[in-house]
Structures are given as C-alpha cells and as structure tokens.
Amino acid sequence: AQTVTQSQPEMSVQEAETVTLSCTYDTSENNYYLFWYKQPPSRQMILVIRQEAYKQQNATENRFSVNFQKAAKSFSLKISDSQLGDTAMYFCARKAGGTSYGKLTFGQGTILTVHP
Amino acid sequence: NAGVMQNPRHLVRRRGQEARLRCSPMKGHSHVYWYRQLPEEGLKFMVYLQKENIIDESGMPKERFSAEFPKEGPSILRIQQVVRGDSAAYFCASSARTGTADNSPLHFGNGTRLTVT
C-alpha cells in the first residue's frame, strides 16, 4: 500500500514564530500531487497548499510554504509568523497522477497549537 | 456560491438502525467523493461517484454500506444495520472537471458526525 506518514502527532509554537510540519510518503509513480489540508475544531477541511511533483519549485501561499524533496519523498509544511488561528489539525495528502479524480491518501495528522 | 453542503451535521443512531447521510456538491461540480474519518485518524477514501455512476468503490466496506448520486438531488451514503464501529465523521467532497483535472482541488463539506449508541 502506498502510504503517507506524519511522524509528529503534536506540535506547538509561539505566536509569530515559525514551525515546520513533516510528511513523508511512499510512491512508485513519477507524477503525482501533494496537498496540505487544515482541519480546525469546526471540522472543516481547508486546502492550505498543493504541489505538483513534476514542478521543482516549492509552492508558497502567503505564510505557508513547502519543502518538497522528491528524491527523499518528503513534503514538509512551513508556517511563518504563526497566528492563533493556525491552531488546527494538519493533514498531508497525496494523489496519484494519471487519474482525473480525487482519490487522496491522507497521513494521520499533526495537531498544531499556537500559543499566545 | 455555496460550498459543499452536508446534512445532518450530527446523527445519532442505535445499533441496528439505518443511517442516511446527504451531500450536495458545489454548483457545477459533477464529481463526488465520500471519506471516513475515525477518531484520531486521517481521512480514508470510501467511494467516488459521478452522476448516476459509481466509478470507484474500492474503499467501501463490502457489506451494509452503499452510495448513490442520482441524476437529481444530493448524493446519499447509506449505512444499514449500524454498529458501534461505524461511529466516525463522514466527509463528502466534490470537484470540477477541468482540462487539468489531475490537480483540481477537492472541496470538502463540514462532515456528518455519526454516533452509534
């Protein structure tokens, strides 16, 4: 089975500081897509950032950026200038390429707490 | 533009009863997915449907679970004779068919939390 692993069950950070959440995955494909989703206590799943494996440039979205290491099969999320509203569960997910539908494989999640 | 709408938000059923979960995709989306999230776990894919067709049900339990997406109306996930192990949050997501469909993001609903007593 092709898996996604988040090795940090919980992380905490002080407001305005930077935190990095790690994610590794297993795949035999060359083309695929990676995502980070945020799930606050409201339970809503919110797309934070996405990366296409064939693109070498790391994706960025405002305070969120990724460090995509294709050879190492690593896809970490960096949150800069952390805010209280960033407190949530964060899920890393992978989607196979070559298919046109959203069958995602999710990691177990990392609970992030931002302290004032 | 309303997002993915799921109802009910919370559903309580006794063991042996039936649970029906509803999902209305975003306007213009014809692809619907159901995921299940057990406590303290990530989401697990269950089934992918297009209008009137089940495309991939590889994540559905073999018994008691079924899904449909009729020509008119919402998608329904149906669980017959529920057991305590069915207690979970069930999420629906939808996506649009685009020219670069591989990176079309999924838009998730807020989920239905099913509790079986």
Q: What is the mean pLDDT of residues A4-25?
A: 97
Top pLDDT among B72 and A78 is at A78
Q: What is the mean pLDDT of residues A76-98?
A: 92
As averages over each run of 10 residues, the pLDDT of chain B (117 residues) reads: 88 98 92 91 92 92 95 95 96 74 74 96
- Determine the Cα–Cα distance for residues B3 and B110; give it in Å rounded to an integer: 10
Mean pLDDT in chain A? Answer: 91
Q: What is the mean pLDDT of residues A9-37?
A: 93
* Sequence-distant (≥ 6) Cβ neighbours of residue B102 within 8 angstroms: A33, A95, A97, A98, A99, A100
Longest dimension (CA), chain B: 46
What share of chain A in percent tops pLDDT 70?
95
Token pair in block for residue A74: 């690593």
B26 shares contact with chain A (CB less than 8 Å): no
Measure B83 CA to nearest chain A CA, in Å: 23
Taking only Cα atoms into account, the Rg of chain B, rounded to an integer number of angstroms, comes to 14
- Residues facing residue B23 across a β-bridge: B6, B75
Q: What is the mean pLDDT of residues A23-39?
A: 90
From chain A, pick out residues whose CB is under 8 angstroms from the CB of B110: 42-44
What share of chain A in percent tops pLDDT 90?
72
* A–B CB contacts, 8 A cutoff, strictly below: 68
